[in-house]
Amino acid sequence: MSSLPTIATVIGSGTMGPGIAATLARAGATVRLYDISPDAIARAEAAYDVVRGVLESVDSPSAPGGSVSFGTDLDAALADTELIIEAVPEKLELKQKVFADLEARIGDDVIIATNTSGIPITTMAESMTVPARLIGMHWSNPPHLIPMIEVIPGEKTSSELVDQLIEIVKAFNYVPVLEKEIPGFVENRVLYAILRECMALLEEGIVTPEGLDACVKWGIGYKLSVVGPTRLLDMAGLDIYQAVSGYLNKDLDASTDTPQFIKDKIAAGQLGFKTNGGMYEYGDGDVDAKRKEIITGLIAARKTLASIPNV
């Protein structure tokens, strides 16, 4: 296989599948997007049209020959494929069942990359016939706009596959970040540390949701989008970090479970955009408007970040 696979298959066409498929297709791959649910495929076809429009407005070259086809026929989706990207729900048993089903239908040389948010690759590979072919390929949401992918080998992943996946990621102009295996990987460990503290601050009534969003967006997000946390410490001074972390770290939230108020919202059917209510409430048309605002903002920020030095 040259760097980019000629044919790739994405398994699972929910939130992540269409953007992943579109990104590979834009780089020139023939992509088959498969889902067990015909309704999910119908939604994915509509989502793909939107994603394609978004990619047109991002400054990245479009290679000729790429395409995405959609379907619920697994054998058709797998015919001659070189790379499978699994993006089914975050449940270990389901993913293991999907891998068993895939392995029964493909040759030993086909790569299986999993978009798990953080289940250890070694655990997922335990039930596989060829564990050397499984590797973590963690995209960030929305996958067609966040140009970074975490590459996570498990204990049995072949070292050739690690090099190969890094080249594949570079071939569609994304930044690969190679990591050692740890639950949650790097991005979600950092994100979930932030979210844990944020949810505790809300639960204790220290700040409103609007205030929290403004504080984190401008005070942390804006800054960290230009300067990473390591360089930020140099900018602030390691002595300051010592002085503050010395009294603050012991005061930070250390809970090990999901906050009760989040569990209550889920029990009441409040999941966020997908149910028109979650942390905020949304009236008719509000979710579509917010999605558009977020995408427009991400496109503008990405263009700006691409045009300034990488500090």
Ligand X SMILES: NC(=O)C1=CN([C@@H]2O[C@H](COP(=O)(O)OP(=O)(O)OC[C@H]3O[C@@H](n4cnc5c(N)ncnc54)[C@H](O)[C@@H]3O)[C@@H](O)[C@H]2O)C=CC1
Ligand Y SMILES: Cc1ncc(C=O)c(C(=O)O)c1O
Annotated binding residues: 12-17, 35, 90, 95, 117, 141, 274
Binding of residue 110 to ligand X (CB under 6 A): no
Q: Output the DSSP codes for 282-294.
A: --TTHHHHHHHHH
User: Residues 38-57: x/- map of binding to ligand X (CB under 6 A)?
Assistant: --x-----------------
80: left (phi over 0), alpha (psi -120 to 50) or beta: left
| Phi and psi angles of residue 211, each rounded to the nearest 5 degrees, phi first | -65, -40
Residue 69 β-bridge partners: 32
Subset of 154-173 contacting ligand X (CB under 6 A): none
Q: Which helix (H) or strand (E) holds 68?
A: strand 67-71
Residue 188 interacts, among ligand X, ligand Y, none and using kind-specific CB cut-offs from 5 to 8 Å, with: ligand Y
List 135's β-bridge partners, or say none.
113, 153
Q: Does 194 bind ligand X (CB under 6 A)?
A: no
- In the bound state, the residue with its beta carbon closest to ligand Y is 117
Q: Where are the beta strands (DSSP E) in the chain?
A: 7-11, 30-34, 67-71, 83-86, 111-114, 134-139, 148-153, 175-178
Q: Which residues form the interface with ligand Y (CB under 6 A)?
A: 117, 140-141, 188
Which of 31, 83, 88, 137 contacts ligand X by CB under 6 A?
A: 88
Question: How many other CB atoms sit within 10 Å of the CB of residue 139?
Answer: 24
36 binds ligand X (CB under 6 A): yes
Binds ligand X by CB under 6 A, chosen from 4, 8, 10, 16:
16
Binding residues for ligand X, how many (CB under 6 A)? 22
- Choose, by CB under 6 A, the member of 3, 37, 62, 260 that binds ligand X: 37
Taking a C-beta distance cutoff of 8 angstroms, is the pair 165, 135 a contact?
yes
Residues that bind ligand X (CB under 6 A): 11-17, 35-37, 40, 87-90, 94, 98, 115-117, 139, 141
